[in-house]
Amino acid sequence: MSKAPVDSTVLGIETSCDETGVAVYSSVRGLLAHTLHSQVELHAHYGGVVPELASRDHVRRLLPLVHLTLERAGMQRTNIAAIAYTAGPGLAGALLVGASLAQAAAYALKVPALAVHHLEAHLLSPLMSSPAPRFPFIALLVSGGHSQLMRVGGIGDYALLGETLDDAAGEAFDKTAKLLGLGYPGGPALAQLAATGRPGRYRLPRPMLASGDLDMSFSGLKTAVLTEFRARALAPQDKADLAAEFQEAVAEVLVGKSLAAAHSTGIRQLVVAGGVGANQRLRALLNEKAALRNVAVAYPPLEFCTDNGAMVAFAGALRLAAGSFARDPGPPVFTVKPRWDLESAAAVASE
């Protein structure tokens, strides 16, 4: 008779930027509960994230969210097997809020505290869907801080294939949105405006599309939009057309580079993760072009594209199952890593 698998339940905490996310993930039953508090309204007034305000709001929100999430999951804290938290990269003060709560609670409960790499959590998040994509796969990680193509051979086996040389794709969306006078956060606002515009009326460059490698560049696109913007007063339809062309240019570059990565590695499975992965035009273009090349594409559910606690709890559960963590948690002495490259995440997570 085969033994039933052990049900390990992980509490996940995300506080790397402007979302307080908490979740409970069971290795047998899947995601039991997740909650999210977005600070969008808090920062909107400033047109971007104010780090100190972000930290203070995490302090206010995190503990009540942990209690609420455990209650929704029907879990006693004493039944938690481990606490996973985003240890970096991100805003130092914001990271410290999640890290200190996770470490202190783990110490009190005598369970491991798992330091999760934020990008690892993003890139593993499509595995929460079923059927889950299989290793190896190419991950396109496109968020406000990163634009990278990674070869993912398994949990902790990440090789960087290419990345942006300047702005991240999400950053380019945000900056261009600001230029066009749209609200914060810029990505969704620009995508909404682009839906009413016609790509092709303006002609923006497709930076580095033909560079022959897998690196990218997005800062020139923003400058090209600025040039159009300064040339003459733009009517609302002009702005929508410019937004549509900008979105098309970013999508074409990301799709071109992703398929080039699939081609050069011979890997036929792509996963898309990070906030820009919520962009519907990017998804439509990628699905269309990938199908022509016989490449499968997987996305996390829309709500788990942008920052959330579920992906952190899930990455923690995978780490726990793989035994890739410090076995003796010891006293809660820890650091966060505001800058942290993903390829070294495997080693650091088990420090």
- Applying CB under 6 A, among 21, 188, 197, 256 the residue interacting with ligand KG4 is 188
Within 209-248, the residues that bind ligand KG4 by CB under 6 A are: none
First-residue to last-residue Cα distance in the chain: 37
List the one residue from 15, 143, 258, 308 that touches Zn ion (CB under 5 A): 143
Q: What share of residues in the chain are helix, strand, coil (percent, to 5)?
A: 45, 20, 35
Q: 233: which DSSP letter? A: P
Coil vs helix vs strand at 160: strand
Establish if 171 lies at the interface with Zn ion (CB under 5 A).
Answer: no
Nearest residue (CB) to ligand KG4, 171 versus 241: 171
Among the listed residues 21, 93, 126, 185, the single contact to ligand KG4 using CB under 6 A: 185
The answer to whether the CB of 149 falls within 8 A of the CB of 335 is: no
**Residue number with CB closer to ligand KG4 (88 or 133):** 88
145 binds ligand KG4 (CB under 6 A): yes
How many CA atoms does the CB half-sphere of 30 hold within 13 Å? 6
Chain centre to alpha carbon of residue 183: 21
DSSP bridge pairs for 137 = 152
The item of ligand KG4, Zn ion, none sharing an interface with residue 248, based on CB under 5 to 8 Å by kind, is none
Cβ 79 to Zn ion shortest distance, Å: 29
Considering CB distances under 5 to 8 angstroms, the limit depending on partner class, which of Zn ion, ligand KG4, none binds residue 148?
Answer: none
Q: Give every CB contact of residue 257 below 8 A, 6+ residues apart in sequence.
A: 140, 149, 162, 209, 214, 216
Per CB under 6 A, the segment of 20-28, 31-39, 138-146, 220-228 that binds ligand KG4 is 138-146
Whole-angstrom distance, CA of residue 332 vs CA of residue 319: 19
- Restricted to residues 245-284, the positions that interact with ligand KG4 (CB under 6 A) are 274-276, 278-279
Work out whether 307 is an interface residue with Zn ion (CB under 5 A): yes
**Tally: H helices and E strands in the chain:** 11, 10
Q: Which residues 16-35 are close enough to bind ligand KG4 by CB under 6 A?
A: 17
Which strands form 296-298's sheet, in the order they lie side by side? Answer: 157-163, 147-154, 137-142, 269-273, 296-298
Candidates 45-53, 141-149, 157-165, 242-250 — which segment interacts with Zn ion by CB under 5 A? 141-149
Among 262, 306, 334, 336, binds ligand KG4 (CB under 6 A): 306
User: Binding residues for ligand KG4, per CB under 6 A?
Assistant: 17, 143-145, 170, 173-174, 185-188, 191, 274-276, 278-279, 306-307
